[in-house]
Amino acid sequence: MQLLIQQLQDNDKRVRSGAIDEIKKLGPQAKAALPALILLLKDPEDDLRRGAAEAIGRMGGEAKAAIPALIEALKDKNSLVRGNAAFALGMIGPEARPAVPALSESLKDQAQLVRSNAAYALGRIGSDAKASVPSLIELLGDQNEAVRKEAAEALGKIGNEAKAAVPTLVTLLNDRNAAVRRHAAEALGRIGTEAKPAVPALMKLLTDQEFVVRMHAVYALEKIGIERKEAVTMWTKLLQDKSEHIRGYAAESLSKIGPDAKTAIPGLIDSLKDQDWSVRSSAAKALGKMGIEAKVAVPALIELLRDGNPIVRANAATALGEMGDAAKIAISALTKLLEDQAQIVRLSATQSINKLGSSGARPQ
């Protein structure tokens, strides 16, 4: 390390550049080189100042002593240096809170990279960057998609202190860029209950063409909080989503609600025939959680005991055990499962037979 530090001070530009490249690879392990790198932020060569800022950023929190010098570098004549300085401050994280005023100014920089990295840095600083919220809101209207995305993400990381951004974030849910829509939804979720006015727009986003956008709309609605009846309606509709991940998530969410989600029973019965095994499994689990309210599902669950996936068979068996007398007609089919190759299936069948009042055979 001592040799690299010496090379950072070499008169030959190529030697200094090579040393910077090696230090980048070391990250926080190269913190002994920080004082020399700070000096290089004043180097007459643009590419060396840029490299020094990047190397400092790769040290993360270990580079907090460089914060004043990085703040100064935000005024560098070279936009790439300014961009790397902003990024480095973000990599330092919450410790870089003294840079919030300077980073807020950098949100107005002519260079897209600088605006984007400044927003990134403010997001990494988190709630301590709340003073930047007005500037970040303004940045949501930036012509560059990457900048709008970073601004939305930063506001989300600032959290409920960014509640003033809710109306503008709602408009971004209609952005032409999927990444922007996704980060706007995520930001609203992170703002939490203060984002209640966004619920109708987030509901509309559940039909977005992009899976990742729909999924983050779901997450946001969960974090903001909606009425149980409204939630049941939402999850029931999502049982028909084109993504198996969302269909499965919807079924799991209905299982957590239990009997109060009984209006979803027809949809869950249909989901027992889903092409994806995890959706079938979650649907069976949800019906079981509803108990005797879901007794109409008994025939479909008996059919599911022959599913090719052992987890699906086990969850179907468990669900039948929760449905009381209406499921006694399943005892014969459950008894056959006592010889199933999968232990989880045999165990689930045994427990359900016991619940249904049978004195039948037990697995060996």
With beta carbons less than 8 A apart as the criterion, state whether 152 and 182 touch: no
Considering only the top CATH level, what class is 266-364? mainly alpha
Question: pLDDT-derived band of residue 360, with 50, 70 and 90 as boundaries?
Answer: very low
Task: Return the domain boundaries, the chain.
Answer: 266-364
**What 3 state SS string does 125-187 have?**
HHHHHHHHHHHHHHHCCCCCHHHHHHHHHHHHHHHHHHHHHHHHHHHHCCCCCHHHHHHHHHH
Is the pLDDT at 130 greater than 90, yes or no?
Answer: yes
Local confidence band at 1 (pLDDT 50, 70, 90 cut-offs): confident
CA distance 245 to 248: 5
Instruction: Give pLDDT, residue 309.
Output: 97
* Displacement of CA 32 from its chain's centroid (Å): 35
Kindly report which listed range (108-112, 222-226, 298-302) carries the lowest average pLDDT score. Answer: 222-226
Mean pLDDT of 119-127: 97
What value does the mean pLDDT of the chain take? Answer: 94
Residue 7: the pLDDT is 84
Provide the percentage of residues in the chain whose pLDDT is more than 70: 98
Q: Rounded distance, CA 301 to CA 284, Å?
A: 7
Query: Please, which pLDDT band fits residue 210 given cuts at 50, 70 and 90?
Result: very high
89 — pLDDT class (breaks 50, 70, 90) = very high
Residue 136: band (very low, low, confident or very high) from pLDDT cuts 50, 70, 90: very high
Q: Do 58 and 24 contact (CB within 8 A), yes or no? A: yes
The whole-angstrom separation of Cα 306 and Cα 312 is 9
| pLDDT tens-digit readout, 148-186 | 999 999 999 999 999 999 999 999 999 999 999 999 999
pLDDT over 60 (residue 299): yes
| Residue 246 binned pLDDT confidence (cut-offs 50, 70, 90) | very high
CA 283 to chain centre: 24
Q: Is 291 left (phi over 0), alpha (psi -120 to 50) or beta?
A: left
In which band, very low, low, confident or very high, does the pLDDT at 361 lie, cut at 50, 70 and 90?
Answer: very low
pLDDT, position 105: 97
Q: Which residues contact 94 (CB under 8 A, 6 or more apart)?
A: 124, 125, 126, 128
pLDDT computed for residue 362 by the predictor: 41
pLDDT score for 363: 39
Question: Stretch 276-282: mean pLDDT, rounded?
Answer: 97
Residue 300 above 70 pLDDT? yes
> From CA 196, how far away is CA 6, in angstroms rounded?
57
Mean pLDDT of 256-268: 95
CA terminus-to-terminus distance, the chain: 66
Rounded Cα distance, 8 and 31, in Å: 13
